[in-house]
A and B are shown apart, each in its own frame.
Chain A
Amino acid sequence: MAKHHIEATVNGDAVEFLCETEDTLLDVLRDTLQLTGSKEGCASGDCGACSVMLDGRLVCSCLVLGCEVGGRRVDTIEGVAKGQTLHPLQQKFLEHAALQCGICTPGFIVAGKALLEQNPNPTDTEIRYWLAGNLCRCTGYDKIVTAVKDAAVAMRKG
């Protein structure tokens, strides 16, 4: 069967691509659009390393088909920083050493940004439960929670 021809918006840019039915959005982002910031850790929605925003909703891109995103908006880690300016979350992750190997970091940044957009003043518990779908094996989550809280403070200050 012929490939699907999809037009969508990725990080604010109009894109078009071809994909097979079984290609996930993650496959398309990484292999077709060369946006390798979203990572495949499990391909089963259990690790969150592929987290993206789909029409403003936090999802695992490995659980979305490429052919589903026609006419829709996708936001990935590559779109979080604004030009040369890091998002407060990115800045706080660096300041608080909230990453060690860094493979899970894009997923955490996208998920953390989604949290702070919905809840600008989350408690530790709210942060941990929101981020429960993002696995980290290096940090033990401690400095990630600290970084998210500190980013929330920075963002509330404006």
Chain B
Amino acid sequence: MAENGTNGTNGTNGQGYVGTRTIRPDGVDKVTGRARFGADFNLPGQLIGRVLRSPHPHARIVRIDTSKAEALPGVKAVITRDDFGDQPSEFIPAGEMMMNYKDVVRNVMAREKVLYEGHAVAAVAAISAAIARRALKLIDVQYEVLPHVIDVVEAMRPDAPVLHDDLFTAGVEPKPDKPSNIAKRVEIAVGDVEAGFKKADVIVEREFKTAPVHQGYIEPHAALASVSEDGSTELWCCTQGHFIVRAHCARLLGMDIAKIRVTASEIGGGFGGKTVVYLEPLAIALSRKAKRPVKMVMSREEVFKASGPTSGATVRVKMGATKDGKFVAGFGELKYQAGAFQGSPVQPGVFCAYAPYDMENVKVIGYDVVSNRPKVAAYRAPGAPISEFAVESVVDEIAKKLGLDPIDLRMMNAAREGTKAAYGPKFGPIGLEQTLNSIKKTEHWNTPLRKWQGRGVASGFWFNIGGETCASLTINEDGTVSLMAGTPDIGGLRAALTSVAADELGIPYEKVRPIIGDTGSLGFNFLTGGSRSAFSGSMAIVEAAKQIKAELCARAAKLWEAKPDQIEFKDGHVRPLGALAEKVKPMSIADFAKIAGKTGGPIGGYGRINAQGAGPSLGTHLVDLEVDPETGRVTILRYTVAQDAGKALHPAYVEGQFQGGAVQGIGWALNEEYIYGADGKLQNAGFLDYRMPVASDVPMIDAIVVEVPNPKHPYGVRGVGETPIVPPLGAIANAMENATGIRFTELPMSPPKVLKALKERGLNKV
């Protein structure tokens, strides 16, 4: 049997579906409004659940009195911290971050303290939303307000208010004896940066600051839980990982995993923000208590205040290069704010900072710092956009100082196959150079600009992951195929997997129907994150198809009384070889399906893997922008993305990842930020003042799909979903420098900041 994917051929049409722009099988339901997202499920007799949230950024909970709420007619259950057992301190992987269950249970429902405005304190389930809202007002919480700290540098000070008196900085020697807000220090180092700097002809050192930004998914969190008298639980929720949700809920509620069946609804965006639990354990606890289904949906304000944005950070980068442009030293110090509980993505930020480049001497230090903000959650290549923004900005300054073309400078130092990254691994084939070359060849790169217009380029890296994946293929009695995957489909996965299954089995695309199975239907699937679902899912499908093909050949051998070497599977049929071909005719999958019962029973394949060999995806972005010098307003004129997909299973959805990530990056660079008052409260908890790009804010995003196959995947696939958000911050900052002559080091580069900088230099005239 072939070890590699059929990679472009398909018995039915000779062409193959992989690599073509098929219509996604779940598409019709989505364009007609039929598809069911998290809040679209309802059960008869359901109650509406709502959460009481802390108005204070930092306070001790002295007392919670729920008696009046419980007495309100129509209220069927009220829960507080008393309804959740405490959890010991234990780190478990979640997506690409590690989480501590002691923290998880406290984030889900505050215990000793509230640690951010919006922190859940209690929840009610009632027969209507109006009664639930009234019940919340009747819960009496006595708080002892404590001083709060928001900013990461402030939180690191020795005299800062301490959030957790059992948090001692890990990763420093000697171990501290006083608790602080610095949860850990991490470091990577190769070579000798001090020696490297001595060799440098040019050194640039800069400090950068970024604000927390939210993933901005349009669908708020939603969950519907129904617990039976024997404890069996059904849960529908929008999530990037229903097996993870099951694991968390089982843990937090003290249940057997098998007793919880989680169905992932269609999901209205996640970008990492739906890899954790917020409402799900609350809905289950309420349903258990009320003995009725409980539906909970967050408001947009709750999404901003109580779900996790990504970190804000302060980053210092120092790079040295010779006059020929060789990077001889790279230093970084990253301070990432984790929100109320430890676990910022500072480690991936540290790993990725210099990863696009082949450098002998690198040292990057990172600090994970807590502060009184919502606990951060993953946001698309978590940690990397921030550190790579800083490095790409400094790379650009070095290019300017040396009089070198910024693409040529990156090319000179580009990591390639065989490069050993500062964070450890040796790269297989990777496509950074190809993306740089693609950009250089574009008409975009060669189009002249006018005054107050600037062009910027930046590259980016994300490592991608594989992970535990189970998927099945079942041959139905009529020869059609049912495909079941276990990672929620965020944006085209079913289309890609259907193409793979159709090509592997040599049957028409329309004869394969995919679903995302619930947790009772498949073995453990790690979540949709780390750009892994197409990469791992397709590997599992290839494995399942392999099993089916082997099974069919074995049945043919029996039927034809032939030996295995006289039989092969090709182009959707089991075929007799050599002399046997004169005696029997090839048989299709449908032929075998008709006689499945008589030849051994139902036919299927089940791929259960821990996908290895994920290859990094590198990209280069090019942006033209124009600054209005009298107002500081920035218009993005033109944008091109070139990124290595390895093999694009579905080119349109790969392009879509490039375009979507680029526009998120544009928002992050120019206008998005969490704005806090001195009182520690979020001032812009809505889409009006949390300013994400709208359609008129951005131009078309040209997408160039580079394909440097990943040799470890049967089709050469690399994950592509996360890398697109990494280069925009640097590319836009570099374009701003070219447009204005000013190096902006603080994001977002919003008009008041830009105008102030222009005015200080007397430049604010047309």
Contact = CB atoms under 8 A, between A and B. Distances in A.
The answer to whether A and B assemble together is yes
B299 A105 contact: no
A99 B27 contact: yes
Nearest to B216: A137
Contacts of B657: 100
A63 B706 CA distance: 45
Interface stretch (B36-44, B151-159, B461-469, B620-628): B36-44
Interface in B608-664: 650, 652-653, 655-657, 659-664
Nearest to B39: A40
Interface residues of A, number: 59
A129 B696 contact: yes
B492 A109 contact: no
B33 A103 contact: no
Nearest to B48: A31
A101 interface: yes
Interface residues of B, number: 60
A4 B215 CA distance: 39
Given A39-B268, A136-B218, A109 B696 contact: no
Nearest to B690: A46
B663 A97 contact: no
A66 to B, nearest CB: 14
Interface string B17-52: 000010110111011111111011010000000000
A145 B35 CA distance: 22
B636 to A, nearest CB: 11
B217 interface: yes
Contacts of B703: 142
Given A100-B660, A101-B269, A135 B490 contact: no
Interface string A18-56: 001010000000100011111111111011010000000
A41 B219 contact: yes
A109 to B, nearest CB: 6
A111 B216 CA distance: 21
Contacts of B267: 101
B378 to A, nearest CB: 15
A101 B266 contact: yes
A52 B35 CA distance: 17
B687 A145 contact: no
A30 B297 CA distance: 13
Contacts of A129: 695-696
Given A42-B686, A94-B27, A145-B695, A106 B33 contact: yes
Given A135-B218, A135-B687, A100 B491 contact: yes
Q: Which of A49, A105, A138, A140 has the most CB of B within 10 A?
A: A140
B24 A103 contact: no
A73 interface: no
B660 A94 contact: no
Given A40-B39, A44-B687, A143-B652, A138 B33 contact: no
Interface in B643-695: 650, 652-653, 655-657, 659-664, 686-688, 692-695
Contacts, number: 178
B695 A94 contact: no
A154 interface: no
B423 interface: no
A132 B27 CA distance: 23
Contact of A94 (B23, B269, B698): B23
Contacts of A103: 37, 217-219, 266, 268-269
B659 A143 contact: yes
Interface string B137-162: 00000000000000000000000000
B31 A44 contact: no
The secondary-structure label for the interface of chain B is: loop
Nearest to A80: B32
A41 B300 contact: yes
B491 A105 contact: no
B130 interface: yes
A152 interface: no
Contacts of A17: none
A127 interface: yes
Contact of A105 (B30, B39, B217): B30
A97 B698 contact: no
Interface string A68-96: 00000000111011000010011001111
A40 B220 contact: yes
A103 B265 CA distance: 12
Contacts of B650: 97
Contact of B688 (A46, A77, A80, A132): A46
B269 A138 contact: yes
Interface in B181-220: 215-220
Contact of B268 (A38, A46, A101, A139): A101
Contact of B491 (A77, A95, A127, A138): A138
B214 to A, nearest CB: 10
B412 interface: no
A97 B21 contact: yes
Contacts of A138: 269, 490-491, 656, 660
Interface of A: 20, 22, 30, 34-44, 46-47, 49, 76-78, 80-81, 86, 89-90, 93-97, 99-106, 109, 124-125, 127-129, 131-145
7 closest residue pairs by CB, A with B: A37-B33, A103-B268, A100-B491, A102-B30, A140-B663, A97-B652, A140-B659
11 contacts: A37-B34, A40-B39, A41-B268, A46-B687, A47-B218, A47-B687, A93-B31, A101-B490, A101-B491, A137-B271, A137-B692
